[in-house]
Structure 1
Amino acid sequence: MCDTLRVRWTVTPKAAPQPWISCSGCGGMRAFQSSDKIRLNANGRKLDAWLIYKCLTCDKTWNRPLFERKNVRDIDPAILEALQSNDPEWIRAESFNLDALRRKSQRIDEFPEFDILREVLRETAGWTRLEIELVAPLPARIRLDRLLASELKLSRTRLRTLRENGLLRTNPDRADILRRGISTGIDVMIDLAAIADRELSWGPLATGSPR
């Protein structure tokens, strides 16, 4: 639409989940943190791979299995290269593998703090409508209403009022979407035609540009 300011928000958690594991050094359940390092063990054409974690209390290590006794030819070449080079981006993504962590731990601490990168995709003079395209490359433990409230300096009550009045819409359009966690593919559309100073008040918050 020609009257739209469209931005992309890429939301990335600051801290990876921390599983609680029985620590042989402490003698009880403790939180472990990814060391961002991979351990590999080759036995002929078979390969074992682990992501190394450390106890936050005593630094005792725990090796979280990625796979065991897997034939090298059955491993995706890109993954094999990432493992052999300790690729930091691949390791960070794997440290957010909640399904794998849940198979090894009954308790996992997740953290709501995040970084956000704002990009302007389209801006027209005199825009009256704000569109926000969300990208979450890693699982982010933050609800949509809390994200919008914190970044647009609004109360969650104001957000609900905007939605009830048809001024805030989402795609997908779910009744409970504001209370759900964010994910890639969510679009938020806000009609700001009635806000006279929208370019000065809403624009900088949406784009990250200085006032």
Structure 2
Amino acid sequence: MCRALRVRWTITPKTAPRPWIACSGCGGLKAFQSSGKIRLNANGRKLDAWLIYKCVDCEKTWNRPLFERRNVRDIDPSVLEALQSNDPQWIRAEAFNLDALRHKSQRIDEFPGYDISKAVIGEAPRWTELEIELAVPLHVGTRLDRLLASELAVSHTRLQEFHDLGRLRIDTQRSDALRRHIRTGTVAIFDLSPEPDRERLWRSRATGAVL
């Protein structure tokens, strides 16, 4: 029988990654941040698209290629519409495309700050387990152990004790799961049967409910 309080945490990063690029204005490598703007150039039926970045110090621009000389017919209509309208959600998602950024820069600053939304998705009577499912639509530079310790108000030492005693299970075979960056689909399951304050403190912290 399931005896779990099941919650879903949706984590949204506050700051997009910043690649370091040679800045002609500053005369050296500098961090660049997304301007949230797209530049398009049409040549017949071919289209070029760039995401515009600005140096954090002098605001010199750098155009990060999204694609070049792409036939308009080969572009997904929804992507084309997003490009032409400078859709902020599409642009924001592209600004978090770490794989693309790593092709252009050897150094990328990532930021741990995030907003979090907590929702109960299931609650058994007299539950003894806490099951936390993560939804991470964009890359967040935060490790799982830091997220759990911060949001559940437990020390890293106690969190590690939970793990070592088998009272914290992560749905992965990786031994370093706690030290890896959070990602969608990760599930952390706590055995709280010995905890007398699970209904008052643990439930409040896991769900964001005010005591």
Question: Fold match, TM over 0.5?
Answer: yes
List alignment gaps of at least 5 residues for structure 1.
none
Could you tell me how far apart the structure 2 residues matched to 1:114 and 1:146 are? 12
Could you tell me how far apart the structure 2 residues matched to 1:132 and 1:77 are? 36
Deviation, 1:179, is 1.4
Q: Which residue of 1 aligns with 2:133?
A: 133
- TM-score normalized with structure 2 length: 0.96
Q: 1:81-133: per-residue Cα shift (whole Å, max 9, x none)?
A: 11111111111111011121122112111111111111110123322110000
Q: Which residue of 2 aligns with 1:43?
A: 43
Q: Which residue of 2 aligns with 1:70?
A: 70
Could you tell me how far apart the structure 1 residues matched to 2:131 and 2:100 are? 35
The reply on whether 1:114 has 2:114 as its aligned counterpart is yes
Q: 1:34-77: per-residue Cα shift (whole Å, max 9, x none)?
A: 00110111111110100001111111111111011110001111
Aligned length: 211
Q: Which residue of 2 aligns with 1:162?
A: 162
Could you tell me how far apart the structure 1 residues matched to 2:164 and 2:205 are? 23
Could you tell me how far apart the structure 2 residues matched to 1:68 and 1:115 are? 35
Could you tell me how far apart the structure 2 residues matched to 1:196 and 1:124 are? 17
Q: Which residue of 2 aligns with 1:184?
A: 184
Deviation, 1:205, is 0.6
Deviation, 1:149, is 0.6
User: Which secondary structure does the structure 1 equivalent of 2:127 belong to?
Assistant: coil
Q: Where do 1:5-20 residues align within 5 Å?
A: 5-20=5-20
Could you tell me how far apart the structure 1 residues matched to 2:106 and 2:7 are? 38
Could you tell me how far apart the structure 2 residues matched to 1:26 and 1:172 are? 45
Deviation, 1:163, is 1.4
Q: Which residue of 1 aligns with 2:171?
A: 171
List alignment gaps of at least 5 residues for structure 2.
none
Deviation, 1:173, is 3.6
User: Which secondary structure does the structure 2 equivalent of 1:202 belong to?
Assistant: helix
Regions of 4+ moved over 4 Å: none
Q: Which residue of 2 aligns with 1:93?
A: 93
RMSD (Å), alpha carbons: 1.2
Deviation, 1:18, is 0.6
Residue type at the aligned position of 1:49: A
